[in-house]
Structure 1
Amino acid sequence: MGNVSIETIMTQEPKVKPESNQLAFGTVFTDHMFTMDYTEGRGWHDPMVVPYEPITIDPAAIVFHYGQTVFEGLKAYVTEEDEVLLFRPEENMKRLNRSNERLCMPHFDEELALEGLRKLIRIDKDWIPNVAGTSLYIRPFIIATQPYLGVAPSKTYRFMIILSPVGAYYKEGINPVKIAVESEFVRAVKGGTGSAKTAGNYAGAMKAQEVAEAKGYSQVLWLDGKEHKYIEEVGAMNVFFKLNGEVITPELNGSILEGITRKSVIELLQYWGIPVIERKISIEELYEAHRAGILEEAFGTGTAAVISPIGELSWLDNKITVNNGEIGTLSKKIYDTITGIQTGKFEDPFGWRMTVEY
């Protein structure tokens, strides 16, 4: 499958590109997209780069009724030497296939998808913004397209990749955020779809987010769905805590998404010789650590922000401040190092970068 040629159809109506310093997140899309179809009995076929345009899909398509869809998120960066870099894209494709497995969707050839992505980026290279902090956001996704109202896996699918130039996540510098510990809603439970990157997880999380924002909080800290005591994720990010010189992150348990930034942070800390442990950590333990004066830093990790420091937590109206509401030394070092590797400013001892050849 990796030897399949990818057909290209160029747009006849190029769009006006936005200024790099005027970009928001996920509102502007490039001229082209990658598409590939799946038909039961035939497999994946017709990989193409085509003009970005609306798609026509049957109103009875399974994606609309039973939510059979998975997605990914990653970024491309352009260096001062005009090189285009991707950050661990093979990990995104592996995870997309893991999500497929959970949603009863067909496995795809990861190298073919990566080649489709590289070809798409080569064509739309001029869309990559070059102002500090900006990047090209990449959204691969797969939807079930069979028109059928029976509850069963689709027999047809469409794989697509779209691109969006995005602005700097932190326009005024990294400021720690206030987080509400969620005591009513849950994001996922073990055995559910929490470890897959699927749309329903995000739709189900919006209510808690809405309630938290109305109270002045940026995000929610999710607790486990069974005992409602163990920390899982923060918003749509993985979460880390530095306690007495040791970094702790909730272990992967079937309800937590295996983040690629999470994986990178763990590997980076191990490389630096900083103790990092994946284990259960309860919200009570965290508050006890704060009372004991050993909760030193807390931060979320994810593609969009890389690192999002936590400055305040509120649990059952008990508020605690982390590191005086300031970004921690380690959080800042992780952020600087990962973004430095992503943008080509730092050495990459891990082989995380992939250069898009022209």
Structure 2
Amino acid sequence: MSATRRIALSIAAFVLAAGVIAPTASAHDRRGPSVTRLATFGSGGFVTGSTIGPDGAVYVTDGDAGSVKRINRRNGHVTTYATGLPRKALPDAIGGPVDIAFVGRTAYVLVTLVSGKAFGQPFGNSADKNGIYRLNRNGSFTLVADIGQWSVDNPPVPAFFIDTGVQYAMEIYHGRFLVTDGHHNRVLSVTRHGSIKQIATFGNQVPTGLEVTKGHVFITQLGPNPHVPATGRVLELRRGADPRVVAAGASMLIDVERGPGGKLFALSQGQWDGVGEGSPALPNTGRLVVVKHNGTLAPVTDGRGRELVLDRPTAMEFVGNTAYVVAINGVVYKVSNL
């Protein structure tokens, strides 16, 4: 087995299968939450991050193309917003641009798994750096924080087999960037001048999505194999205190966002297929779940009380009572009437 293949098989829950089946909504379902397809973009593999831009559009990352796409929320029209970022280096894993955030009208993009060493063997182009890039006015990108090199210089204990880590999500907090590393099991704080420090670390819990809202920081954990619902958790990170478990009970949690009515919503990628380390959820087992006051996670249902079905979602954003959910292969769904 080649080193590249071992890498792809060993990145827990980041080797995700493509192929999304579009949910449909009947007229009856429109009385309650419903799912429709808004847009399709990309080359069909490993789309992970999104945000709502200053113009109100949905912006998503495309690791295969090394680009950022803009999606019109009204008609689903897709345009290329920026390109020229390092592309992913491993064919069967995430990588390249994986998340995006805006500071004012300036875009910053998180890039991962474009170079490094796995099992001691180099992969990718060493000139390509893992970290945060700023989009300049002329359309070029500038590396502002080399997270990959920092990770090499500051390995977790115990060390993991990819020395540069696997950064997954990024949010802005008090003028800094918070970044999850799902391989090194930690959360980093990064300034726009490139200063990096670790602010939270976990056991083998695979931190994934982030949300910053009203001064609070929330994070999802995918959980280790076999990714049972009990290890799919939403945590609140707190200064000077241990993280607080907000809710648990949904398998393979991948993102969390504040939604309508101030409620916290999370994305469950679905039921793990059990094939092996790094294998994805079973098709069409993903769910949008809501955090309940008793610490449980309840699936969102339509007007008939049926659970809304999603196929391996990776990220979501809310505008009013509508969620925009990105799937792994570049399909964007619109979940209305929440």
- The TM-score, its normalising length taken from structure 1, stands at 0.27
> Which is richer in helix?
1
Greater C-alpha radius of gyration: 1
> Which is richer in strand?
2
- The TM-score, its normalising length taken from structure 2, stands at 0.29
